[in-house]
Structure 1
Amino acid sequence: MRSFLASLPLLLGTTLPALASDCPAATDHSVELDGIIAEIQSAPDEMTARRLSNGLWELWTDAPDAQAQDLLGRGMALREQYAFLESREVLTDLIEYCPDYAEGYNQRAFSSFLRRDFDSALWDLDRALEINPRHVAALSGRALTLMGLGRDEEAQATLRAALELNPWLSERSLLKEPPGQDI
């Protein structure tokens, strides 16, 4: 049966999508992430923190294998071309292939956010954060998405959580003073 399935694409002249079981586990970058976050938290200025944040993106966008990397790259490139629906489709393929890869959900959320589809973005961000609770970009994206939904109190709490990890986020300007306190 397996050999028949393997030969099916040749018979049909197409390729079959890979199964989620084919996706290897993403590399565990938790030690490196913790180190970069610690450096960001003690950064002397915003420019230094921004440079360090690039290291986070390098780790987050390190897909589990070449196929996942290709899907991630294509999805992000389509989004940069303002092809948000097409980007979502490619990133959905990535998520179906690698359902435990947080960045697939984070990037699809960004495509949804840019379309102002905040409900879809929030669902994806919540899933990304289930997989990687210290994903600073998903936290800040979640805060912005909640603001888009008019859920400001929850957005402020999420933004505070993101700022605990990276106090230099540009979104810090959206933080409101806690009630009864001066900042």
Structure 2
Amino acid sequence: MKTHRAGKIPTWLAGLALALLWPVAADQNDDRLDGLFDKLQDAPNASQSAVIEQQIWLIWTQAPNDEAERLMDRGMQAMRLGEWTLAERLFDQLVEKEPKFAEAWNKLATVHYVLGDYNESMSDIEQTLKLEPRHFGALSGLGSIFARLGQPAAAIRVFEQVLEIYPHSQDSQHSIEQLQEQLLDRAI
């Protein structure tokens, strides 16, 4: 008979268990977010930060009511399937019904980005950040837009803002390194 040693629970499993115990209805106004952002600031490494990040995303993506939740779920499914026009229509409906739901705006920004409509995406990001100024996902999207538009200095500034909120964001750190190389190449 194989015995199991008692040990530390993997952080991803602890995060999942915690998420399952939390109530379903939430959004960017959820009281738990302040504590999670404090933990994100104090996390000692990228691994622990990633668990906290997932907990934040779980809260952000939980719509404020059942109808909004259905639209969010359908829109996210359309995104997973690459049905970008349908996703755009669903998220447009969602922001019309719930204009104060930050993640609805962020998802719409993502769809507009994928469709190459950077102006609309930036407008959606602006709405997201008005509702949730700590939205590191929206900021990352804005940095990606500036990078795509050939504005590496502006992109670096935005990714640095992400690092102020989420110090162990490996994606932002990597993006800054790549953009700094672009700036050096231009200077040569």
Same fold, judged at TM 0.5 (above):
yes
Distance in 1 separating the partners of 2:152 and 2:125: 17
Tell me the equivalent position of 1:172: 173
Q: Does residue 125 of structure 1 match 2:121?
A: no
1:146 pairs with 2:146:
yes
Query: Could you tell me the TM-score, scaled by structure 1's length?
Result: 0.77
Paired positions, count: 153
Cα offset, 1:34, TM superposition: 1.9
Q: Give per-residue Cα distances to partners, 1:41-81, cap 9 Å, x unaligned.
A: 22222111111101110111121100001101111110110
Question: Is 1:47 matched with 2:21?
Answer: no
Aligned to 2:100, what secondary structure does the other structure show?
coil
Unpaired segments ≥5 residues, structure 1: 1-24
Post-superposition Cα deviations, 1:17-62, rounded to whole Å, max 9, x if no partner, equal: xxxxxxxx95721x42221122122222211111110111011112
Identity within the alignment, %? 26
Conserved in 2, the CA contact under 8 Å of 1:88 and 1:108?
A: yes
Q: Contact 2:78/2:87 (CA < 8 Å) preserved in 1?
A: yes
In 1: Cα distance, 2:85 partner to 2:123 partner: 16
How many angstroms apart in 1 are the aligned matches of 2:83 and 2:121? Answer: 16
TM-score normalised over the length of structure 2? 0.75
CA–CA distance in structure 2, aligned partners of residues 27 and 129 of structure 1: 11
Distance (whole Å) between structure 2 residues aligned to residue 149 and residue 65 of structure 1: 37
Q: What residue is the counterpart of 2:17 in the other structure?
A: none
Instruction: Give the residue type in structure 1 aligned to 2:174.
Output: S
Q: For the aligned residues, what is the CA RMSD?
A: 1.9
Structure 1 residue ranges, 4+ long, deviating more than 3 angstroms after superposition? none
How far off its partner does 1:168 sit? Answer: 1.6
Q: Is the 8 A contact 1:122 1:146 kept in 2?
A: no
